[in-house]
Structure 1
């Protein structure tokens, strides 16, 4: 092909012709490895060797069907040209496109090559194109592929011994809307939404991405007779294992059934904080007496010191309390440090609110809360929802509230810590997860930004998992107001017009530039999870299938129980098999075969109006058949199956 010659391609509909048996030798090579079926593109090539070229009389000739990228293809050649006299016409045909759903029809780029048999690879003639096949365009190619004079020139070497060789190389492009593989793109998979379980999915993803928590779940005692629908530990073990090794999004139905939830519960949004507490309490109860006892407390439990001291007399009292999470004010606070300032703010008890001290009567006093011990994993619930007494209703607080990549709770010379707190522990935290609520007080959508490795942010939005930038997880979840298109606040909409300027001057008002309209951002963070930097290596170490890292606690040194591992792997293999069948369902149909013996057995006993009830036939009589299979080939398949019985 000369460099200046441009390919001319056009659609040719020829879906009514039957596929004919081909003469000659066929060479097929599919270069797409079976281990790469989830690649963005599937590549393969096919060489059609057409013998007795000069003896072909029909205007169109098809190759046999061949498969590349799960799609069937065939080549179509018009020896005398298709609406182009003196030209060889060659097209790539997708026979299944005539009946396949539009979203499952192939999109591919391809290269058609007329092989020079005298000097293969050097004097070849080729043309390239790309196309999306459909019911109205089942084939695509070149009506003016090559001049017949050049094709038949013996010096060119395209026809040797009355044999022509045409090779096609195909690259099938996957439609990411239907074939996005989050495991391949990000290393992680999502969770299916049962109707209104996005809040639970966000929480589960966060807990799963605490490896130390996941290891503890794997070591909770279960028996071989337990079922995931009735055993919370087994349901959570199964869920975490599938999140770790599955290639496709994971269902949470077994887990919600183990909660005792009905289908209706799955369509109702529950409180995330309450679900987190109840789930951890149930797990803590199941862990008692095992080697993972108190792991929940070890991860999440901290202690506060509630104190009270009188101003004028020597009277003090204090009480140490534990917490698993903290609720921080959002309204009236500009950032997370303002919330901690308010949480530990000293309250004066004076006037009508004096404190009655034992032995001293009513006294002015100071009371407050300080942190006696902070946990390795700090769960912060942001109070985005509160009751509005004036409006007599619940409202969502969408005010701007800033939080940071790192959180230093030793700041201000340890102003948040009690006097007896261990000052040798550095309370410097790194942000691990941001759970987001998008919507209003009566409903909305939940998703999470999580940083499993401490570097790359990932967005977990039910089944979708994508890599995101840090600003998506932080700045864009502060809340507050924004402008259309996300423009910076205060940006000029345009210069003040002359007429407007004169009106402002006459009115004696200062000149002000136009401002863009602002709108409230209803998507904002409602839960933050920080992990202490000094504890990150301990609690965030990866979980391996074949064992646990040696520097972890002795109780977590063993791998996943062998029987549990075997059971979960078997479930995963079955799920992948069903998924593959589902992806290829448009290519196949099921045919059931009834024999004379079946008819004789059923008629008059279980059947009176039909010859046979196919549902009563044994599974061996059902055949999964490619839709374009010839009837003669299907008969051979049935005959072979009958001989095996």
Structure 2
């Protein structure tokens, strides 16, 4: 059997000696000869050359490649990372929040589950008469905490230097819980109720009735006796409302829901009505009649319903169609409709959208029309984007597929660069009901009643009960949505009785916004100055490190040098913040000298570089070629000699084994012999 022979040219441990050199050196030391400096450098592998392109050889103490990156290169962390570490401690750059386009509306920061607050506030702010009236509030009402914060928030949205305002102070004034997702409709209703109470106490005629003048309408339940034809006395009692509750589940469109809400109820049999004029129970009809509609009509789509099977509130994601413009005259009480010639045109002003399949969580965005500018804006917390195609083009928000791209026309992205957002709406089979979204404008035709008690006004404005009619198609101006949650319509050509001009801001608000903008500009300037100082300091520090490392290579033929921990040098070059003084303890033996077998853990530098490092960092211990520990060196050489003897013994045993192997092959089997361990023999 063939066995390998001992390789005498193999280096010993981490030293530069092969076995023959190690045995020769051991003999010299045993004879009392001293180790020369050249031999010391050879032991430490410090006599090897580095051409500067070896990419950091750990086994060569002379190689300083890779201690710092090449010019134009960076590292992931430390002094040489692309963005200095000091800039990260400064936080975000305030200039990134700068509002560059005054035409683009301002967003609102999401404080955590406050998207419903932001969407509702944007709907109110984008109502000019409401916004300007809030500015006109004078002391002492202006000193109210809530009124004061909403006025300041509005002026930041209008004239602030940041692209997104911070509603934190306003949210704290309302004691809002940021950890819970609230109902956007409910918040808007409670906020308007709170503002109405506070404004009513202001004593200012121009603003004390602001909320009811803009948002309050009235209705009455009209009961008519079929015997005498007279309406009950209670039919004249009007009830105020700030929003109309519109049923979504089971209704395909707004005009269907309005018709169902206003249909006549037959009171007969056990449910007969006691007529105060006839003095007895008679058959009668009972109907909800809209008496007065506000200039800004809120329609609350009943998306959140209680599921009796699940015993919890769930979201009704039914597709629901509503028009961009609607004539509500046919839905008014006949008397009130006749006063306005039967025409009550309303244009869609805002859509509050709840995205998500759950009633307890989701995300709110708002589509709001800017009065006067004829633009639609999409408000998504801090992000505000223009909607070139209006709300009909935002299919992703409405839970549908994106609009088809006309031939030769490129799709315009309206949401964070996404040109093809995916919808969430449930798929429904196409039918003759025409529930597809289409562009255009038209006035909805008067609805007719169906056999299931659904009633609609006829062309003369009076509600009728007639036979069943086939379902109507969706008008071309309709939007079909499975996420629309609240609709805000404005009465066309409406003008307030008391005109509130868009005058200059009051001195107090002007002073407030000037101070806020100045503070922001100062913060931007200070950050820029600090940023430049940090970059300059880093560049100077990098130049200092490179300067010392340029002095570090030991010139050829130079023997006076120092050895330093490679790990410490790398950390120093990266400006490790935990690094203090020079630490060569990893190279030190128990006798306080330089370990001869640590060449892979050290770097050899010039005396000039060492003096610079000591002047900056201090520390030690200081090791030169003459500081190699002879005791440890002898121990290393003894180990080499012992290993060599073991190798020779192994070769002798292998020779015997090979002889026996040849004898066994060339002669007859031996009748007796001895067995030894194969592992031991190998």
Matches within 5 A, 1:274-423: 274-288=186-200, 289-290=203-204, 291-317=206-232, 318=235, 319-358=237-276, 360-410=279-329, 414-421=330-337, 422-423=339-340
Taking a change above 3 Å as real, the CA distance of residues 375 and 425 of structure 1, as seen in their structure-2 partners, is farther
Distance in 2 between the 1:273 and 1:304 partners?
20
SS of structure 1 residue aligned to 2:186: helix
Distance in 2 between the 1:179 and 1:246 partners?
14
Distance in 2 between the 1:553 and 1:225 partners?
20
Partner residue of 1:195 out of 105, 108, 112: 112
* Residue in 1 that maps onto 2:498: 553
Taking a change above 3 Å as real, the CA distance of residues 342 and 581 of structure 1, as seen in their structure-2 partners, is farther
* Residue in 2 that maps onto 1:164: none
Taking a change above 3 Å as real, the CA distance of residues 555 and 458 of structure 1, as seen in their structure-2 partners, is closer
Taking a change above 3 Å as real, the CA distance of residues 310 and 399 of structure 1, as seen in their structure-2 partners, is same
* Residue in 1 that maps onto 2:149: 235
2:124/2:131 contact within 8 Å kept: yes
2:104/2:384 contact within 8 Å kept: no
* Residue in 2 that maps onto 1:270: 182
Taking a change above 3 Å as real, the CA distance of residues 200 and 579 of structure 1, as seen in their structure-2 partners, is farther
Distance in 2 between the 1:420 and 1:532 partners?
15
* Residue in 1 that maps onto 2:161: 247
Range moving further from structure 2, 568-577 or 477-486: 477-486
Partner residue of 1:566 out of 511, 520, 528: 511
Q: How far is the alpha carbon of 1:588 from its aligned partner?
A: 4.2
Q: How far is the alpha carbon of 1:572 from its aligned partner?
A: 2.4
Task: Provide the alpha-carbon RMSD of the alignment.
Answer: 3.9
Q: How far is the alpha carbon of 1:324 from its aligned partner?
A: 1.3
SS of structure 1 residue aligned to 2:101: helix
1:205/1:460 contact within 8 Å kept: yes
2:142/2:148 contact within 8 Å kept: no
Q: How far is the alpha carbon of 1:408 from its aligned partner?
A: 1.5
Q: How far is the alpha carbon of 1:371 from its aligned partner?
A: 1.5
Q: How far is the alpha carbon of 1:311 from its aligned partner?
A: 1.6
* Residue in 2 that maps onto 1:432: 349
Are 2:485 and 1:526 equivalent residues in the alignment? yes
Taking a change above 3 Å as real, the CA distance of residues 222 and 419 of structure 1, as seen in their structure-2 partners, is same
Taking a change above 3 Å as real, the CA distance of residues 292 and 490 of structure 1, as seen in their structure-2 partners, is closer
Taking a change above 3 Å as real, the CA distance of residues 477 and 306 of structure 1, as seen in their structure-2 partners, is farther
Aligned length: 384
Bigger radius of gyration among the two: 2
SS of structure 1 residue aligned to 2:130: helix
Taking a change above 3 Å as real, the CA distance of residues 523 and 447 of structure 1, as seen in their structure-2 partners, is farther
Q: How far is the alpha carbon of 1:554 from its aligned partner?
A: 5.7
SS of structure 2 residue aligned to 1:305: strand
1:477/1:524 contact within 8 Å kept: no
* Residue in 2 that maps onto 1:494: none
Taking a change above 3 Å as real, the CA distance of residues 569 and 201 of structure 1, as seen in their structure-2 partners, is same
* Residue in 1 that maps onto 2:83: 101
TM-score normalised by L of structure 1: 0.53
Q: Deviations over 1:342-398 (max 9, x none)?
A: 121111122222223335332221111122111111111100111122332211111
Distance in 2 between the 1:526 and 1:103 partners?
46
Q: How far is the alpha carbon of 1:630 from its aligned partner?
A: 5.6
Taking a change above 3 Å as real, the CA distance of residues 468 and 296 of structure 1, as seen in their structure-2 partners, is same
* Residue in 1 that maps onto 2:136: 219
Q: How far is the alpha carbon of 1:471 from its aligned partner?
A: 5.8
Distance in 1 between the 2:537 and 2:342 partners?
68
Distance in 2 between the 1:455 and 1:381 partners?
24
1:309/1:365 contact within 8 Å kept: yes
Distance in 2 between the 1:221 and 1:460 partners?
30
Q: How far is the alpha carbon of 1:565 from its aligned partner?
A: 1.3
Distance in 2 between the 1:225 and 1:356 partners?
52
Matches within 5 A, 1:169-208: 184=101, 187-208=104-125
Q: How far is the alpha carbon of 1:534 from its aligned partner?
A: 0.9
Q: How far is the alpha carbon of 1:99 from its aligned partner?
A: 3.6
Distance in 2 between the 1:256 and 1:395 partners?
27
1:403/1:474 contact within 8 Å kept: no
* Residue in 1 that maps onto 2:523: 578
Distance in 2 between the 1:415 and 1:561 partners?
42
Taking a change above 3 Å as real, the CA distance of residues 268 and 426 of structure 1, as seen in their structure-2 partners, is same
More strand, by proportion: 1
SS of structure 2 residue aligned to 1:627: helix
* Residue in 1 that maps onto 2:606: none
SS of structure 2 residue aligned to 1:451: strand
2:249/2:318 contact within 8 Å kept: yes
Q: How far is the alpha carbon of 1:259 from its aligned partner?
A: 1.5
Q: How far is the alpha carbon of 1:420 from its aligned partner?
A: 3.5
Distance in 2 between the 1:568 and 1:254 partners?
15
1:189/1:250 contact within 8 Å kept: yes
Are 2:537 and 1:627 equivalent residues in the alignment? yes
Distance in 2 between the 1:474 and 1:305 partners?
38
Distance in 2 between the 1:380 and 1:369 partners?
16
Taking a change above 3 Å as real, the CA distance of residues 361 and 389 of structure 1, as seen in their structure-2 partners, is farther
2:321/2:481 contact within 8 Å kept: no
Distance in 2 between the 1:225 and 1:311 partners?
55
Q: How far is the alpha carbon of 1:479 from its aligned partner?
A: 5.2
Taking a change above 3 Å as real, the CA distance of residues 375 and 573 of structure 1, as seen in their structure-2 partners, is same
Partner residue of 1:462 out of 381, 384, 392: 381
Taking a change above 3 Å as real, the CA distance of residues 92 and 626 of structure 1, as seen in their structure-2 partners, is closer
Distance in 2 between the 1:565 and 1:100 partners?
42
Q: How far is the alpha carbon of 1:463 from its aligned partner?
A: 0.3
Q: Deviations over 1:553-582 (max 9, x none)?
A: 366575322133112210222134335555
* Residue in 2 that maps onto 1:642: none
More helix, by proportion: 2
Distance in 1 between the 2:252 and 2:170 partners?
38
SS of structure 1 residue aligned to 2:117: helix
Taking a change above 3 Å as real, the CA distance of residues 430 and 384 of structure 1, as seen in their structure-2 partners, is same
* Residue in 1 that maps onto 2:55: none
Distance in 1 between the 2:521 and 2:112 partners?
23
Q: Which runs of 5+ in 1 are unaligned?
A: 1-90, 106-177, 492-520, 540-551, 590-624, 632-645
SS of structure 1 residue aligned to 2:490: strand
Taking a change above 3 Å as real, the CA distance of residues 367 and 256 of structure 1, as seen in their structure-2 partners, is same
2:218/2:239 contact within 8 Å kept: yes
SS of structure 1 residue aligned to 2:165: coil
